[in-house]
Amino acid sequence: MTVAPDQQAGALSRRLLYLLPVVLFLAVAGYFLAALWMNRNPQEVPSALVGKPSPDFALGPLLPNVPGVARADLNGSVVLINFFASWCVPCRAEHPFLMHMAADASLPIFGIDWQDKPDAARAYIQELGNPYARIGLDQSGRTGIDFGITGVPETFVVGRDGRICFRQWGPVTDEDTAVALLARIKECRG
């Protein structure tokens, strides 16, 4: 039996096509293996920023009488950067703590209003009071992504050199977390 060459080539490419699924699958399995090999903890990825200089950003103000925040405002003293949003219930729970810190006036707190509607955020500040020395409006969420936040609220302690010194994941609502955060702030002051 003879087979025409082009027919043979057709049969070959047909065979190769049927090989495609297993090849693709093995590539994916390779990625899975690599991911297991790295033994990464997905939740820890963002903390890689600790010890690194703060990302660059410049955010416009939310309120007429409170200035916005930019990277340039971070040099010179230890500050707290708090990501919040009016739609976030834990942020409300955390708010009394921030008000308390602000009344203490031991260090400036900068707020970044993340992925929020400005009107809702203004109402939020009006209702609960303003603990922030500066508030930047991060409507697109870009600065939040640069900081590697996974949600709100998150709080960063930035040192005198403009490097991120500590990252608080989630709200500060109970005493233990508050005490721990205050201790870290002390450490960051050096």
Partner 1 sequence: MIPELGQVALVLALALALMQVVLPLVGAARDNASWMAVAPPAAQGQLFFIGFAFLALMQAYVSSDFSVAVVADNSNSAMPLIYKAAATWGNHEGSLLLWVLILAIFGAAVGTFGNNLPPKLKARVLSVQAMIAVGFLAFMLLTSNPFARLGQPPADGADLNPLLQDPGLAFHPPMLYLGYVGFSMAFSFAVAALIEGRVDAAWARWVRPWTLAAWIALTAGITGGSWWSYYELGWGGWWAWDPVENASFMPWLLGTALLHSAIVVEKRDALKSWTMLLAILTFGMSLVGTFLVRSGVLTSVHAFATDPARGVFILLLLVVAIGGSLTLFAIRAPTLRDGGLFQPISREGALILNNLLLAVGCVVVFLGTFMPLFADVLQLGAISVGAPYYFLIFNPFAALLVVVTAIGPLLPWKRADLAGALQRLTIAAIATLLVAGLVWWLKTGGPLFGILGAALGTWLLVGTVVEFVERIGLRAPAEALRRARQLPRAAYGMTLAHAGLAVAILGMTGSAAWKQEEIRTMRAGDTVSLAGYDYRFDGVADVAGPNYTATRGTFTVTKEGAPVVTLHPEKRVYPVQGMPTTEAAIHTTGLADLYAVIDTPDAAGGVAVHLYHQPLVPWIWGGAFLMVLGGLVSLSDRRLRVGAPSRRRVMAVARP
Does the footprint of partner 1 cover residue 178 (CB under 8 A)?
no
* Chain centroid, CA 69 distance in Å: 16
Q: Which stretch binds partner 1 (CB under 8 A): 2-10, 23-31, 70-78, 157-165?
A: 23-31
Based on the shown chain and the rule CB under 8 A, indicate whether residue 55 belongs to the binding site for partner 1: no
Q: Does 58 bind partner 1 (CB under 8 A)?
A: no
Asked if 31 is part of the footprint of partner 1 (rule: CB under 8 A), the reply reads: yes
Chain residues 126-145 in contact with partner 1, contact rule CB under 8 A: 127-128
What are the residues facing 110 on neighbouring strands?
81, 134
Residue 3 as a binder of partner 1 (CB under 8 A): the answer is no
Whole-angstrom Cα distance, residue 134 to residue 111? 6
Q: Would you count residue 28 as binding partner 1 (CB under 8 A)?
A: yes
> Which span sits near partner 1 by CB under 8 A: 34-42, 53-61, 63-71, 131-139?
34-42
Q: Does 103 bind partner 1 (CB under 8 A)?
A: no
Residues that bind partner 1 (CB under 8 A): 11, 14-15, 18-19, 21-22, 25-26, 28-29, 31-36, 38-43, 45-46, 48, 86-87, 89, 92-93, 96, 127-128, 148, 150
